[in-house]
């Protein structure tokens, strides 16, 4: 292949900046030549475009080098020289430009953020709404701002470690460890899909601080329950928060199982009894769960319905998720004076302890807690297992709560 530089335009003197500035449009495009095939194309609209004329394999071709004045005369000449080097090395500058653009487009879809988004959407259908929301919010808050714009195949262990250590420095040691694990899953997804060669998270084993001994969630003791319920009855915050906390105490569901509840899930069973059928997608154990609705829970739901209006959600709120936030209930407990004394999850432990102490069948309790014994034959249960027995147990529990509050009220009045 013979490479011939197009010097057809070299009869004129080289351009000056003043020539470029003063070039005026006419009724048709005009070329103002510089040298070595470089010329300024002045369009009738007034736009001024740098172009480079060259020959490749005997054919006349043109390469775009930018728009004047954003690309100066000096910059355009530099572009011409780069093209000359490419031509001398047997490379067509126009085709190379197309290849570079394709590579840039591919790189844009292979950033950590882009791969993380693809990994997340490939996995989220197998998670509960609450878990998937937490996973993405953690990535979006701590990892993506640090390394999200980098090509995933070029991210080295120190860059990932810096992002994780920033979380550690806030004292969130457990979260830092979880973020490292999630990041590793994203890198391994990139390897499986051919966009990375290695997982840098593997090189960071042992680099993070130990989270120390696990801390148990604070829970209310049976002797403290009456005082708590009396305080809850006098809650001075939003009524919706108060009712949501009552719902948690009576049903001992997890936070996200309650806050993402829908009115369509409240139904009547074949025997006419009310029940709350929570879909598997929202349950931690990935199994549909039925909660018998006691008369006390029905009263709570009736009031929530009057507040929710036409919303399809039990606990609607003007948040990004359309329901009360992840922290609403725990902040409600803080407002009641129970910071470090109780957690939302702790009511599950309170209920389990009291029900076991009062002689209820352990299987009923575990089933109502939606616990799955994965290595036991009991893991293969159906949704309505022991439902009649669980309904009696839940009625006892709601009545027990009412009695505990009434006893405390009477003691205070005396």
Query: Which residues have a catalytic role annotated?
Result: 254, 284, 345, 348, 371, 381
Give kind and range of the element (H or E) at residue 67.
strand 59-68
Residues 391, 364 contacting (CB under 8 angstroms): no
Residue with tokens 């728009």: 67
The string of DSSP codes covering 370-392 is: T---TTSGGGS--TTTTHHHHHH
Give kind and range of the element (H or E) at residue 269.
none
List Cβ<8 Å contacts ≥24 apart for 205-212. Answer: 207/161, 208/164, 208/165, 208/168, 208/173, 208/176, 208/177, 208/180, 209/168, 209/173, 209/176, 210/173, 211/173, 211/174, 211/177, 212/173
Q: Which are the contacts of 372, defined by CB distance < 8 A and separation ≥ 6?
A: 285, 287, 379
Residue 313 sits at φ, ψ, to 5 deg, of: -100, 150
């Amino acid at each position: 292949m013979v490479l011939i530089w197009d010097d057809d335009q070299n009869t004129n003197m080289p351009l000056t900046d003043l020539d470029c500035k003063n070039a005026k449009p006419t009724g048709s495009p005009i070329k103002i030549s510089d040298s070595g095939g470089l010329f300024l194309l002045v369009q009738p609209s007034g736009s001024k475009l740098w172009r480079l004329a060259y020959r490749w394999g005997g054919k006349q071709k043109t390469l775009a080098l930018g728009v004047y004045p954003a690309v100066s005369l000096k910059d355009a000449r530099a572009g011409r020289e780069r093209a000359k080097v490419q031509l001398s090395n047997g490379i067509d500058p126009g085709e190379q430009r197309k290849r570079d653009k394709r590579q840039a487009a591919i790189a844009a879809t292979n950033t950590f953020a882009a791969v993380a988004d693809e990994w997340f959407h490939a996995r989220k259908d197998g998670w509960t709404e609450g878990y998937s929301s937490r996973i993405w919010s953690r990535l979006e808050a701590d990892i993506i701002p640090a390394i999200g714009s980098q090509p995933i195949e070029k991210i080295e262990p120190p860059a990932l470690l810096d992002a994780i250590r920033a979380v550690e420095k806030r004292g969130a040691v457990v979260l830092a460890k979880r973020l490292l694990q999630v990041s590793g899953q994203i890198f391994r997804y990139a390897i499986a899909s051919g966009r990375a060669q290695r997982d840098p998270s593997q090189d960071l084993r042992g680099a993070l601080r130990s989270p120390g001994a696990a801390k148990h969630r604070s829970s209310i003791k049976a002797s403290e329950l009456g005082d708590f319920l009396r305080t809850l009855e006098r809650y001075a915050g939003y009524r919706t928060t108060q009712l949501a906390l009552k719902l948690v105490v009576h049903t001992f569901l997890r936070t996200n199982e309650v806050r993402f509840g829908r009115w369509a899930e409240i139904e009547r069973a074949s025997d006419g009894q009310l029940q709350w059928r929570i879909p598997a997608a929202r349950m931690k154990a990935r199994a549909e769960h039925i909660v018998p609705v006691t008369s006390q829970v029905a009263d709570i739901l009736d009031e929530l319905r009057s507040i929710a209006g036409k919303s399809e959600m039990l606990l609607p709120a003007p948040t990004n998720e359309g329901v009360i936030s992840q922290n609403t209930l725990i902040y409600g407990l803080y407002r009641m004076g129970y910071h470090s004394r109780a957690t939302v999850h702790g009511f599950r432990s309170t209920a389990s302890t009291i029900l076991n102490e009062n002689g209820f069948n352990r299987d009923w309790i575990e089933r109502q807690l939606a616990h799955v014994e994965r290595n036991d034959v009991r893991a293969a249960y159906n949704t309505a297992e022991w439902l009649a027995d669980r309904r009696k147990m839940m009625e006892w529990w709601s009545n027990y709560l009412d009695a505990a509050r009434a006893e405390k009220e009477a003691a205070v009045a005396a």
